[in-house]
Structure formats: structure tokens, C-alpha cells
């Protein structure tokens, strides 16, 4: 049997079982999910939209198709009685692994000593529950690529220095967007060493040096080559790309922001997109009246771990669980106790500030 037959059969099974389960189940999917997963989902979004919309649904089971930190965030924001599942608990994010609870605590304590006052953490959504919990415990907020500037600005305007982690590029691109003075910005490496030209005592923003391997691949040379190859092309990139790439591009945006830009672009316009390849391919198919090409092919293999077979397996486990509560759910995300309470505080702070 061909792969496309397999996909067609699986897709039909997923659709049929989903119909049978009705409003008990909702399937949100991230923009980087493979096309066959997106087409069986209820809605797609960037990490902010997924977190907010999943928490507003009335479904009993939220089967989140995206990497684990996204499902974890939905579980933290879920209402009592709602259960969140991931089709693949191994779908991690190497960037989220670049900071843990212990290094976070050590670092923020050190920075507060240097600054001589409280330093507020602003932590990217691409982090795990323990780090989100530390953020809440220290009075900070989560942010995503769609709202990082708004959230950082809120604290900086109140004269509170910020510890931004784990993505250096999103941090520095936010600094550029806000026009913050470069001599008050410092990079922090894993050993805790600070890199910057000014006096750290006057530091406004301290940025952890994590990165996304998918977005790190894009270069200024890619943009120059693409512009030579396609006259009049416009280049849009995700803010996880490095500062030079974002500075050289025509625009930057979260996945939802870029999708909207492409949707609203004039017919016949030509675009190069610097982000994950499944997103670019889908946008090209969704908007055939425009020419949409990848700036370079770059795959998030963790996102690509989710497939229809795993989605079906999760749905079957929900069906079995409804009939017999002892049947295991594949795979339930649990975040409890102090970690959940503090992580929720940081996520709700983000929603409050983003919606101001």
C-alpha cells in the first residue's frame, strides 16, 4: 500500500472517531504540524493562540498537536475536569531544555545581587513547567513571540530589570524592536558570565543564550540569494532567527502573524519565509494566488514526530477511557501542586499583559 493510501485511511479513521466522540474532544494544532495533522484538527494557531483558545474550550479532553511544552501549557490553563493529552510525550524542544529550574534560580539570584534590586523574569513559552513555575514565584510573566515586546516593555517602563530566557534571539530582537540602549543589555551564558559593553549594575535586560536550531540555520546570505533569484520578493522571518537576519528581512512575526501577513498579501506577490518548512509548504498551498518559497528548508523534527497514527492512538485511548475510567490515556499531561500554581500565575500574567 502506498504512503498516501495509508494517510488517507488513517485520516478517515481519525475523522470518524473524532465525530463519534463529538464535543468531548478538541484537537488544537500548532502551525508547524504536518499537513495531514492540521487537516484533522479543530483549529490551528501560534503558541499564544493555542494556550488561550485551548483554555476557553468546553471539551473534556484536549488533544494538543504540537511539542510537549505547548501541551503542558494547555494543561496548566485547563479548567477543572479537563484533561490534556499529547500524541507523543517525546516531542520535546531543544531550546526549552537549555534552561532548568536550578540554573534559573542560581542565575536570577546572581543578577539580583549585581543589580542591587529585584530582577523580574520574562520567560518564553518554549520552556517547561518547572521554569514557568520559577517565573511565577519570582513575580514574572511568560511571553510568546507575538507579545514579547509588550511584556518586556511593561517591566522596563516600571524600571524593573528583566531576566529573559531561554531564547537569546527573541530577547535581542525584542531589544531592537523596543529601541533599548545596547550598553544596558547583557547576554548570560551557562556559566553565568555576562557579555556586554556597559555596567551590569545598570543592566536593563539580561538574556540567556539559548537558541532554536531550526531558526539558527537562516542567514543573511540566504536573504541576499533569494532577493537575487526573485525580483521584488518580500522576506518575512520568525524572531527566533538571529538579529542580523531579522534586521535584513522585510518583516518579522510569530507563526500566526506571518500566516495572516501571507493571507492578506496582494494576489501575485512573491514571498520568502524564514521559518519551519511545514509552515511554509502549507502557506504555499493555502494561498495559491501568491508565490511563497522557503528562505531555506529547515525542519523541526520534534513537531514532525506527531502523525496521524499517534493522533488515532490517543483518540482510541480516550474512547476506551470513557468506557472504563481505569483504561490509560495516551498520553495524559499532568502538572500538579506548587509547580502548577506558580506556572499558572506566570501564564495568566502574560494573558493579562498581552490583552491590556
Number of residues that bind ligand 13P (CB under 6 A): 12
Is residue 205 classed as helix, strand or coil in its secondary structure? strand
Smallest distance, ligand SF4 to C-beta of residue 26, A? 21
d(C-alpha 300, C-alpha 181), whole Å: 33
Asked if 29 touches ligand 13P (CB under 6 A), the answer is: no
Q: Does 126 bind ligand SF4 (CB under 6 A)?
A: yes
Interface residues for ligand 13P in 114-143 (CB under 6 A)? 126
Looking at beta carbons, which pairs linking 276-284 to residues 24 or more positions away fall under 8 Å? 276/31, 276/32, 276/214, 276/300, 276/303, 278/32, 278/33, 278/34, 278/35, 278/303, 278/304, 279/31, 279/32, 279/255, 281/35, 282/31, 282/35, 282/38, 283/258, 283/259
User: Is residue 21 involved in binding ligand SF4 (CB under 6 A)?
Assistant: no
Shortest CA distance to 133 belongs to which of 323, 314, 332, 341? 341
Residue 72 interacts with ligand SF4 (CB under 6 A)? Answer: no
For residues 302 and 194, give the distance between their C-alpha atoms in angstroms, rounded to a whole number: 31
Partner touching 127 among ligand SF4, ligand 13P, none, CB below 5 to 8 Å by kind: none
The least distance separating ligand 13P from the CB of residue 80, rounded to whole angstroms, comes to: 27
Binding mask 293-312 for ligand SF4 (x = CB under 6 A): -------x-xx---------
Of residues 302 through 331, those in contact with ligand 13P by CB under 6 A are none
Q: How far is the CB of 77 from ligand 13P (least distance, A)?
A: 15
Site pattern 225..254 for ligand 13P (x: CB under 6 A): -------------x-x-------------x
Minimum CB–partner distance for residue 105 and ligand 13P (Å): 24
From ligand SF4, ligand 13P, none, interface partner of 254 (C-beta below 5 to 8 A by class): ligand 13P
Question: How far apart are the C-alpha atoms of 29 and 52, rounded to whole Å?
Answer: 13
Which residue among 108, 212, 295, 335 contacts ligand 13P (CB under 6 A)?
212
Determine how many CB atoms are found less than 10 A away from the CB of residue 170: 31
Q: Which does 303 bind (CB under 5 to 8 A by kind): ligand 13P, ligand SF4, none?
A: ligand SF4
Contact assessment for residue 124 and residue 151, using Cβ atoms and an 8 Å cutoff: no
Q: How far is the CB of 290 from ligand 13P (least distance, A)?
A: 20
CA distance 63 to 310: 11
Is residue 94 near ligand SF4 by the rule CB under 6 A? yes
Distance CA 280, CA 292 (A): 7
Terminal-residue alpha carbon distance, the chain: 53
> Which of the stretches 15-23, 91-99, 265-273, 348-356 binds ligand SF4 when contact is defined by CB under 6 A?
91-99
Q: How many CA atoms lie within 13 A of 240 on its CB side?
A: 27
By CB under 6 A, is residue 64 in contact with ligand SF4?
Answer: no
Q: Where on the chain is the footprint of ligand SF4 (CB under 6 A)?
A: 67, 93-95, 126, 212, 214, 240, 276, 300, 302-303
Q: Which residues bind ligand 13P (CB under 6 A)?
A: 31, 46-48, 126, 144-145, 212, 238, 240, 254-255
Amino acid at each position: 500500500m502506498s504512503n498516501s493510501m495509508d494517510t488517507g485511511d488513517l485520516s478517515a479513521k481519525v475523522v470518524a472517531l473524532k465525530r463519534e466522540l463529538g464535543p468531548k474532544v478538541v484537537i488544537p494544532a500548532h502551525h508547524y504540524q504536518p499537513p495531514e495533522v492540521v487537516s484533522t484538527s479543530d483549529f490551528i494557531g501560534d503558541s499564544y493562540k493555542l494556550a488561550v483558545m485551548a483554555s476557553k474550550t468546553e471539551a473534556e479532553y484536549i488533544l494538543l498537536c504540537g511539542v510537549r511544552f505547548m501541551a503542558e501549557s494547555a494543561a496548566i490553563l485547563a479548567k477543572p475536569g479537563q484533561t490534556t493529552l499529547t500524541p507523543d510525550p517525546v516531542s520535546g524542544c531543544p531550546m526549552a531544555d537549555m534552561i532548568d529550574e536550578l540554573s534559573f534560580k542560581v542565575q536570577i539570584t546572581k543578577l539580583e545581587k549585581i543589580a542591587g534590586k529585584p530582577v523580574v523574569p520574562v520567560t518564553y513559552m518554549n520552556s517547561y513547567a518547572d521554569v514557568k513555575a520559577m517565573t511565577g514565584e519570582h513575580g514574572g510573566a511568560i511571553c510568546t513571540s507575538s507579545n514579547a515586546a509588550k511584556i518586556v516593555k511593561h517591566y522596563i517602563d516600571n524600571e524593573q530589570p528583566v531576566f529573559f530566557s531561554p531564547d537569546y534571539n527573541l530577547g535581542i530582537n525584542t531589544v531592537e524592536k523596543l529601541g533599548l540602549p545596547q550598553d544596558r543589555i547583557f547576554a548570560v551564558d551557562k556559566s553565568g558570565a555576562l557579555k556586554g559593553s556597559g555596567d551590569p549594575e545598570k543592566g536593563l535586560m539580561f538574556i540567556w543564550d539559548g537558541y532554536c536550531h531550526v531558526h539558527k540555520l537562516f542567514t543573511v546570505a540566504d536573504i541576499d540569494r533569494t532577493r537575487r533569484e526573485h525580483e521584488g520578493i518580500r522576506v518575512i522571518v520568525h524572531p527566533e532567527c538571529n538579529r542580523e537576519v531579522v534586521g535584513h528581512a522585510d518583516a518579522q512575526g510569530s507563526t500566526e502573524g506571518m500566516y495572516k501577513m501571507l493571507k492578506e498579501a496582494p494576489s501575485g506577490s512573491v514571498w520568502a519565509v524564514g521559518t519551519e518548512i511545514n509552515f511554509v509548504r502549507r502557506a504555499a498551498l493555502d494561498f495559491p494566488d501568491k508565490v511563497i518559497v522557503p528562505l531555506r528548508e529547515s525542519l523541526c523534527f520534534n513537531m514532525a514526530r506527531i502523525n496521524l497514527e499517534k493522533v488515532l492512538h490517543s483518540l482510541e485511548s480516550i474512547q476506551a477511557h470513557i468506557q472504563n475510567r481505569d483504561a490509560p490515556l495516551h498520553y495524559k499531561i499532568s502538572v500538579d501542586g506548587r509547580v502548577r500554581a506558580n506556572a499558572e500565575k506566570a501564564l495568566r500574567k502574560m494573558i493579562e499583559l498581552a490583552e491590556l
